Amino acid sequence: MMLAALSSFATPNFDYVKLAPVLIVFAGAIVSVLVEAFVARTQRRSVQIVVTFLTIAIAFGAVLNNYTAKREGIEAMGAFALDGTATMLQGIILVVGVLGALLFAERRVDPAGDAFAPRASALPGSSDEQQFTEAGWLQTEVWPLFLFALGGMLLFPAATDLLTMFVALEVLSLPLYLMAGMARRRRLLSQEAALKYFILGAFSSAFFLYGAALVYGYAGSTNFGGIATALSKMTNNEGMFLLGALFVAIGLLFKVGVAPFHQWSPDVYQGAPTPLTGFMAAATKIAAFGALMRVMYVAFGGARWDWQPIVWVLAIVSMAVGTIVGVAQSDIKRMLAFSSVAHAGFLLLAVAAASKDGLSGSLFYLATYGVTTVGAFAVVSLVRDATGEASHLGAWAGLGRKSPFMAGVFALFLLAFAGIPLTSGFIGKFAVFSAAAASGATPLVIIAVIASAVAGFFYVRVIVLMFFTEATEATASVVVPSGYTRVVVGVTAALTLVLGILPQPLLDLAANASTFLR
Amino acid sequence: MQIHMQEAASLAQASGVSSLAWLVIALPLAGAAILLLGGRRTNAWGHYLAVLMAVGSFVVGVLLLTDMLGKPVADRGVIIPLWDWIAVAGFHVPVALQLDQLSISFVLLITGVGSLIHIYSLGYMEHDPDRRRFFAYLNFFFAAMLTLVLADNYLLLYVGWEGVGLASYLLIGFWQYKPSAATAAKKAFIANRVGDVGLSLAVMLMFAVIGSVTFEGVAKAAPAVSEHWLTLIGLALLLAACGKSAQFPLQSWLLDAMEGPTPVSALIHAATMVTAGVYLIARSHAIFDLAPNARLAVVIIGGITLMMGAVIGTAKDDIKKALAGSTMSQIGYMVLGAGLGPVGYVFALFHLITHGFFKAGMFLGAGSVMHGMHDNVNMRRYGALRTSMVVTYATFGLGYLAILGIPPFAGFWSKDEIIKAAFGQNTFVGLVTLIGAAVTAFYMTRLMAMTFFGTARWEDGVHPHESPATMTVPMVILAFGSVFGGMALVFVGNIQSWLEPVVGFQETTTAPSSAVLMPTTILLVLVGAWIGFRKYAMQAVPVEAPANVSWATVAARKDLYGDAFNETVLMRPGQWLTRTLVYLDRRVVDGAVNGTAGLVGVLASALRRIQNGFARSYALTMLIGAAILVAVAMLVRMS
């Protein structure tokens, strides 16, 4: 009996080349754990940095290889889909990952070391903590955590089965929860943020799992292709399906940070170490949005008429909450958090469009938004006063007089967020809005344009504050960073500008990539 | 009237040497960028770099010309695509250059005359503390002007158009510590803005009505468009040309623009930028060919400006302003010629090129005179300079003969053809051009005589001397252009058959024969010159301008009330309008905006309270949100 059952068990088919980017990053993460265990502490940091960048470089090579060979297909018994969208998103995530890793490696900005607590286990304010700080210890465990999170992000938008998707979701989330609590300065705030993030993340995971169970109950499959087939054939029990689909979507919308599932984001953005905030704000949004689009288009595409109005409502609420509450923020990191909520709303326009143009527009939008976001947080990490980062807006007044270059770069990022022409943000918004308008969502586009105008207020307010206010003693100063952060600021600023003037190559890439396999 | 149009064949993509055309723009642009961004570090060598970039641009231009000459006529026009600028559904604007006989002519004029003026400026600006900034602006002007003439579509042309406007503004106001220069710069900018509105209207109309903004696309689609729209587009383009080329009623800025350094007046406000309007009309010939009413408007504007400029030129004592009046008048000739349609385009462009040489040469001569006279511009304090400034006198004199249209100097060949074509159109128009030529002879002779002949009326302590070689050599080279430019373009390189494939050409059939017209013209010119010479060279010129003069002189001295016209027709109603608008804006628009802002603020502080920092409240919000979404989903299902 046992033998018979075993012999009928089919070995899953793996095309390791297609899975390579994900596998390489996970392998790198395991190597990184081993480094943590076996390499002497004095050399650990440098070895970890080498391992991380090498891993990302090889993984990017694997993505390029998949791209040039135009490899496509559903692998691992229908759990993993490699198609144009997955390849492009993996490439974008790896680029953002490199930028994030560069920020992680920076240690000249804070006189005491890098952005992470020397020992996360030491109580905040305790004598242990002080000892570790004085001894100049550096946290190197962030590197394996970073790589595991990155691997999860690569898997997330390629998962084409609800269970794989859930695993990817958790793999990317858990390291982020941990790292969010590891800030060197203001540790209580950081730990509070991490705990909130964890609890609310668990809550949203519960939504996702319950939704997956309901969808399985309806379709008899957790596979996207199977769900889509069931949706096209069955006519009964649609209430159960709809509830399940909605809950699955809520789990993902939490990660994207769409209102009303966004409330973790300002607290976490503010509390987490800034390099992590930059990486997370960019890469999580890209990965989660990719996953959301895959679920909505591939698995639930047949029920489009049911979920489109909900997406409309969510887009409007998100744009409204992000822009309106953003106006009242006095902390730069919280302001950027609400800005990201508003951007999530703009991105939902592409989902509402449910068209190929919408998909390619959102790919472009995600790439440019991710790059600009990392750059903006890189600048935020440099603006400091005696107590650490000066994230209160009051400290930014007159910054343009003191450090015109950095203030100018930050102004560029803000203009990109606001969607001003000649920046990449304008082209992204234009692509998404026009796709939505073409699919008949004109009222939504009008609301989005109004929201952009209101959002423009709080971006421009910061520019006015920086450049048209006299510098006082309270004005923070810009720290001169090492090459790591300089590269990030330079590359992100250049990309923001170049993609605003010469967007065509990336737009073409996105247009060619916008396919989903089923 | 049968229109002789070129075949609407598609232009080929560039290959070989011609694909290097972008270098023409890139070189001076790089120069400007280095000088402006490099700051004081480049003070020591920046001006040499600028000259090098200008000359380099000219060399590339010559290479492009030789390459073009080696090709059969049909293959001479090429498109050099650079990148896609805007590509969204239904609207596609490439950044591409169009290199053909028309654009290469302009490239050579701009880079050739421009390089000479760069070299001249080495001497002229030698002691200026802001020399680097000056050369940076000059290089920037180069890049913008070359973008204007090399663009293959109206939108890219617009970029260059605004660029030259900016360069002109910066250079007129270069000595910004002088209030008059600052005001003049502002005036030029505002007058140009009015014209720019015309260009943007034209581009928008083209996109809306024709569906394309490339020259080729417009030319192909124009025959299918109704004449009303074409007339409207043509009038909008004319407005643009009026602003940039200082044509009536937007002419008044050009006289004030002479506040800028003299090399600027020579390059921008005589030889190149102010002729951009003529270029625009010639480039848009596909529209004007099909819109006779718009063409008539062009002729009328050109005729009015031609006479106005000439009359203003007769009464000015400031040597640069007299030359500026003359520039207005000569551009009036070109605009009038362009308005005549296929019988005139070629000659308008011909006159543009010869004028570029002799007028630039005369401006440089004026600069040289000022250089020797302690920057005094008042001709009543000149006189008898022909002995102390021999080179300046000789080169200026050759330019003078050219502008008068004395055979065989450059102006004769081009102006004569315009007069003939004008008579072919209409006797009245012909008479205007003929009388204009006589008046030109009068005021130019007056200028010549007051400066170089008669008795010395110098101020105390002024010892006129010849300028350094960096200044005289460019003047000598330009003087060669004044003498041989016309002949060369008629006998060596036949300008008529050269430009015909681009703008079309048709021999005028209704004009009186040259055998009658040419001697008449020359006779009238000689009469004008004789009157001028008798009055200003043979009689004593008072040092102070006489006060009791006829009303006509008073009017001419006041620029024919151009400023008064602006004030009553534009400024006062404008002020009234802005005051009303500001009032409405405060009451209505600001009310709405502030109301919205207030509402956003109230909502923001209310919604902010939900963000209270408690994880339990956040979870509750998520739950309520989920519940509402489920409710919405169910509602959608049921409806």
B83–A246 C-beta distance less than 8 A? no
Top-ranked range on mean pLDDT: pick from B13-17, B243-247, B547-551:
B243-247
| Pair A341, A265: CB distance under 8 Å | yes
B572: CB partners within 8 A, 6+ apart: none
| Pair A171, A147: CB distance under 8 Å | no
**Residue in A242, A254, A263 nearest the CB of B611:** A263
Residue B254 has a pLDDT of 85
Rounded CA gap, A517 and A225, in Å? 9
Higher pLDDT, residue A361 or B598 = A361
Q: How many CB atoms lie within 10 A of CB B535?
A: 15
Instruction: Compare all CA atoms of chain B with the CA of A421 and give the residue at the minimum distance.
Output: B86
Residue in the block written with tokens 């969204």:
B88
Instruction: Say if residue B91's pLDDT is above 70.
Output: no
Query: For residue A505, is the peptide bond before it cis, meaning its omega torsion is within 30 degrees of 0?
Result: no
Tokens of B414: 């081009």
Find the chain A residues whose C-beta atoms sit closer than 8 A to any C-beta of B: 195-196, 199-200, 203-204, 207, 238-239, 242-243, 246-247, 250, 254, 259-261, 263-264, 266-267, 306-307, 309-310, 313-314, 321, 323-328, 430, 434, 438, 454, 457, 502, 504, 507
Instruction: Say if residue B10's pLDDT is above 70.
Output: no
Residue B68 has a pLDDT of 85
B contact test, residue of A188, A263, A461 with most B CBs within 10 A:
A263
Q: What is the mean pLDDT of residues A28-40?
A: 95
Instruction: Say if residue B5's pLDDT is above 50.
Output: no
Element (H, E) at A478: strand A477-478
Q: How confident is the model at residue A90 (pLDDT cuts 50, 70, 90)?
A: very high
Q: Which of A23-32, A131-140, A329-338 has the lowest average pLDDT? A: A131-140
**Residue in B615, B618, B637 nearest the CB of A242:** B637
Burial class (CB in 10 A: 0-12, 13-18, 19+), A174: middle
Instruction: Say if residue A92's pLDDT is above 80.
Output: yes
The string of pLDDT tens digits covering residues B561-587 is 777 777 777 677 777 888 887 877 777
Residue A333 has a pLDDT of 93
Tokens of A152: 């999860």
Q: Which positions in chain B touch A430 (Cβ < 8 Å)? A: 88
A223: three-class secondary structure by DSSP = strand
B227: CB partners within 8 A, 6+ apart: B290, B291, B293
Q: Alpha-carbon dihedral of residues B583, B586, B589, B594, nearest 10 degrees?
A: 180
Integer angstrom CA distances of residue A392 from A189, A272, A406, A441: 15, 15, 17, 38
Q: Is B626 on the interface with A (CB under 8 A)?
A: yes
Q: Which of A421-430, B146-155, B609-618 has the lowest average pLDDT? A: B609-618
Residue ranges per structural domain of chain B: 568-638
Instruction: Say if residue A472's pLDDT is above 80.
Output: yes
Determine how β-strand A383-385 pairs with β-strand A388-389: antiparallel
Integer angstrom CA distances of residue B148 from A40, A265, B123, B167, B247: 65, 50, 29, 13, 19
Integer angstrom CA distances of residue B168 from B142, B171, B179, B191, B272: 11, 5, 17, 12, 11
A207: three-class secondary structure by DSSP = helix
Rounded CA gap, B635 and A309, in Å? 10
A416: CB partners within 8 A, 6+ apart: A368, A372, A423, A424, A425, A426, A496, A500
A263–B622 C-beta distance less than 8 A? yes
Q: How confident is the model at residue B8 (pLDDT cuts 50, 70, 90)?
A: very low
The string of pLDDT tens digits covering residues B254-265 is 888 888 888 888
Residue A290 has a pLDDT of 95
Residue in the block written with tokens 């060919």:
B289
Mean pLDDT of chain B: 83
Residue B512 has a pLDDT of 74
B632–A207 C-beta distance less than 8 A? no
Q: Is B39 on the interface with A (CB under 8 A)?
A: no
Q: Is B589 on the interface with A (CB under 8 A)?
A: no
Instruction: Say if residue B88's pLDDT is above 70.
Output: no
Tokens of B445: 């002779």
Residues B446, B450, B451, B454: is their CA dihedral positive or negative? positive
* H helices, E strands: number in chain B: 26, 3
DSSP state of A185: S
Integer angstrom CA distances of residue B338 from A176, B225, B247, B288: 70, 22, 13, 9
Q: By C-alpha distance, which of B467, B112, B97 is closest to B271? A: B112
- Its ipTM equals 0.88
The CA-based angle A41-A47-A48, given to 5 degrees, is 90
Q: How many CB atoms lie within 10 A of CB A137?
A: 15
A260: three-class secondary structure by DSSP = coil
Residue B9 has a pLDDT of 46
Q: Which positions in chain B touch A204 (Cβ < 8 Å)? A: 622
Q: By C-alpha distance, which of B352, B310, B304 is closest to B329? A: B310
| Pair B46, B30: CB distance under 8 Å | no
Q: Is B588 on the interface with A (CB under 8 A)?
A: no
What percent of chain B has a predicted confidence (pLDDT) above 70?
A: 96
Higher pLDDT, residue B606 or A87 = A87
B75: CB partners within 8 A, 6+ apart: B12
Rounded CA gap, A398 and A408, in Å? 12
Q: How many CB atoms lie within 10 A of CB B595?
A: 10
The string of pLDDT tens digits covering residues A105-150 is 998 888 888 889 888 888 888 888 888 888 888 889 999 999 999 9
B412: three-class secondary structure by DSSP = helix
Rounded CA gap, A138 and A155, in Å? 30
Minimum distance, in Å, between the CA of residue A381 and any CA atom of chain B: 23
A261: three-class secondary structure by DSSP = coil
Q: How confident is the model at residue B2 (pLDDT cuts 50, 70, 90)?
A: very low
The CA-based angle A14-A15-A20, given to 5 degrees, is 110
Mean pLDDT of chain A: 91
Instruction: Say if residue A414's pLDDT is above 50.
Output: yes
Q: What is the pTM of this model?
A: 0.67
Q: How confident is the model at residue B468 (pLDDT cuts 50, 70, 90)?
A: confident
Q: How many CB atoms lie within 10 A of CB B510?
A: 11
Element (H, E) at A199: helix A187-219
Q: What is the mean pLDDT of residues A307-312?
A: 90
Minimum distance, in Å, between the CA of residue B208 and any CA atom of chain A: 19
| Pair A342, A318: CB distance under 8 Å | yes
Instruction: Say if residue B194's pLDDT is above 90.
Output: no
Instruction: Say if residue B424's pLDDT is above 90.
Output: no
Residue B3 has a pLDDT of 38
| Pair A259, A124: CB distance under 8 Å | no
Burial class (CB in 10 A: 0-12, 13-18, 19+), B498: buried
Residue B87 has a pLDDT of 67
Minimum distance, in Å, between the CA of residue A515 and any CA atom of chain B: 20
Interface size A-B, in CB pairs within 8 Å, comes to: 91
Rounded CA gap, B281 and B340, in Å? 11
| Pair B308, B436: CB distance under 8 Å | no
Integer angstrom CA distances of residue A441 from A285, A350, A434, A447: 23, 10, 10, 10
A267–B621 C-beta distance less than 8 A? no
Residue B6 has a pLDDT of 40
